[in-house]
Amino acid sequence: MVLRIEVILEKIMLNPVMELVTFKINANCTPEAFAAACEPVNVWVRTQPGFQSRTVSRNQEGTWFDVIFWDSAESANTAAAKIMVELGKSEFMTMIESSSIQMQHPQIVSRS
């Protein structure tokens, strides 16, 4: 019986995916203004299927890190395509140096 429940849970639970986006903000944009512009994106991303969590941070060199956890690669890819259509002209997007954007989905090997 226990094995059967584990098999069912394994099929229900998708393979979680981490989306890591690194970028720089435009020189005329302050970190405080950019942080405020993140909030509408937070509201939007919370409504996307498969969303788990999002954290935006930056380092001393001015590189920003947008880390989102999704239930699956499919959820991550669907949201990535939709965000440009639905929020492509948002204040958040216009504050980012588009040439600096790097997106990746590294494999999660351990999570607590």
Instruction: Give 1's pLDDT tier (boundaries 50, 70, 90).
Output: low
Q: Which two tokens stand for residue 106?
A: 């590294």
Q: What pLDDT was estimated at residue 81?
A: 92
Q: What pLDDT was estimated at residue 17?
A: 94
Q: 77 pairs with which residues across the strands?
A: none
Q: Are residues 20 and 105 in contact, defined by beta-carbon separation less than 8 angstroms?
A: yes
Q: What pLDDT was estimated at residue 9?
A: 47
Q: How far is CA 64 from CA 42, 47, 60, in A?
A: 16, 23, 10
Q: CA 97, 102, 94: angle at the middle one, nearest 5? A: 25
pLDDT tens digits for range 66-110: 999 999 999 999 999 999 898 888 999 999 999 999 999 998 888
Q: What is this structure's pTM?
A: 0.83
**Is 64 in a helix, a strand, or coil?**
strand
Q: 65 pairs with which residues across the strands?
A: 22, 57
pLDDT tens digits for range 2-46: 555 554 444 445 689 999 999 999 999 999 999 999 999 999 999
Of 25, 71, 26, nearest to 45 (Cα)?
A: 71
Q: What pLDDT was estimated at residue 49?
A: 97
Instruction: Give 112's pLDDT tier (boundaries 50, 70, 90).
Output: confident
- 95 phi and psi angles, rounded to 5 deg: -85, -10
Q: What pLDDT was estimated at residue 21?
A: 97
